């Protein structure tokens, strides 16, 4: 293993915390894989060996698990994972066209990374935000009701090093490694950040209030 002493000590400390959440060691494997992505930016050979060691599996067994899940990356990932939902509902509402333009602007296709390492592109399956279609996700934060122009602006901002702000979510999108650490179950203190009410989320509630139907309480 090639982690330096400090990195390894930190990893071991974090891994101990993760293992402490489960009654059976092996359950820690998915969060551990998110954890090594937060250090290496992908599931590296070192990361696999580290996980295997933590949960008493072989590297081959850990690889077999990691390759099953699309969020674990086999190659160094871009700093921003940009996904355009092209499942049916979003595709029809404009997602196909957004994908075409975003892919053209970045000059890459599905599961490819720009030469500067900024963006990895992905055609997403439904991300449970269909009421906000067409939807894009950047490092797993919501960019709702996209148009090609808005999507291109997000991409340009990333390519030119500016922060990007989701429509539902925190004040800005954190880089891939930071977000991977959250997915390993470590809070980053940003849960209270918010972009205000998303209209589709509260539309039914508003209708009920207008009609005086709240008495159902």
Partner 1 sequence: MTDLTPVLSATWDAEQSWKLGTYENAGGYGALKKALGMPPADIIQAVKDSGLRGRGGAGFPTGMKWGFLPPDDGKPRYLVVNADESEPGTCKDIPTMLSAPHILVEGVAITSFAIGCNHAFIYLRGEVVHVYRRLLQAVREAYAAGHLGKNIHGSGYDLDVTVHAGAGAYICGEETALLDSLEGRRGQPRLKPPFPAVEGLYARPTVVNNVESISSVPAIIDRGVEWFTSLGTERSKGMGLFSLSGHVERPGQYEAPLGITLRELIDMAGGMRGGKELKFWTPGGSSTPLFTAEHLDTPLDYESVGAAGSMLGTRALQIFDETTCVVRAVTRWTEFYKHESCGKCTPCREGTFWLSQILERLEDGHGTDADIQQLLDTCESILGRAFCALGDGATSCITSSVKLFREEYEQHVSERRCPFDHAASALFEYETSQATEEAHA
* The one segment of 6-14, 110-118, 134-142, 155-163 that binds partner 1 by CB under 8 A: 134-142
- The CB-of-3 to partner 1 minimum distance in angstroms stands at 22
Nearer to ligand FES, 36 or 129 (CB): 129
- Residue 49 or 183 having the CB closest to partner 1: 183
C-alpha 62/C-alpha 51 separation (Å) is: 7
C-alpha to C-alpha distance for 101 and 72, rounded to whole angstroms: 26
| DSSP tag of 118 | -
* Minimal distance, residue 39 CB to partner 1, in Å: 16
* Rounded CA separation 216/92 (Å): 36
Q: Where are the beta strands (DSSP E) in the chain?
A: 80-85, 119-124, 136-138, 141-143
Task: Mark 47-86 with x for binding to partner 1 (rule: CB under 8 A) and - for no binding.
Answer: --------x--------xx--xxxxx-------------x
Residues 108-147 that bind ligand FES (CB under 6 A): 126-127, 129-130, 133, 135
In the complex with partner 1, the residue whose CB is nearer, 9 or 207, is 207
**Cα dihedral 176→180→181→184 (10° resolution):** 180
| Residue ranges that bind ligand FES, judged by CB under 6 A | 85, 87, 89-90, 126-127, 129-130, 133, 135
């Amino acid at each position: 293993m090639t982690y330096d002493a400090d990195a390894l000590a930190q990893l071991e400390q974090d891994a101990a915390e993760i293992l402490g959440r489960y009654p059976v060691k092996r359950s820690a494997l998915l969060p551990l894989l998110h954890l090594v992505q937060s250090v290496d930016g992908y599931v590296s050979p070192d990361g696999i060996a580290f996980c295997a060691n933590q949960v008493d599996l072989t590297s081959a067994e850990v690889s077999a698990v990691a390759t099953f899940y699309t969020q674990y990356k086999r190659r160094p990932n871009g700093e921003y994972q940009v996904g355009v939902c092209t499942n049916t509902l979003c595709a029809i509402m404009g997602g196909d066209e957004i994908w075409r333009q975003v892919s053209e602007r970045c000059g890459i296709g599905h599961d490819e990374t720009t030469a500067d390492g900024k963006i990895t592109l992905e055609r997403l399956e439904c991300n449970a935000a269909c009421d906000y279609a067409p939807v894009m996700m950047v490092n797993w934060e919501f960019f709702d009701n996209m148009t090609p122009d808005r999507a291109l602006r997000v991409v340009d901002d990333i390519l030119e090093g500016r922060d990007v702000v989701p429509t539902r979510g925190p004040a800005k999108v954190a880089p891939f490694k930071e977000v991977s650490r959250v997915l390993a179950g470590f809070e980053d203190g940003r849960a209270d950040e918010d972009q205000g009410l998303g209209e589709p989320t509260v539309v039914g509630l508003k209708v009920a209030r207008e009609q005086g139907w709240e008495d159902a309480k």
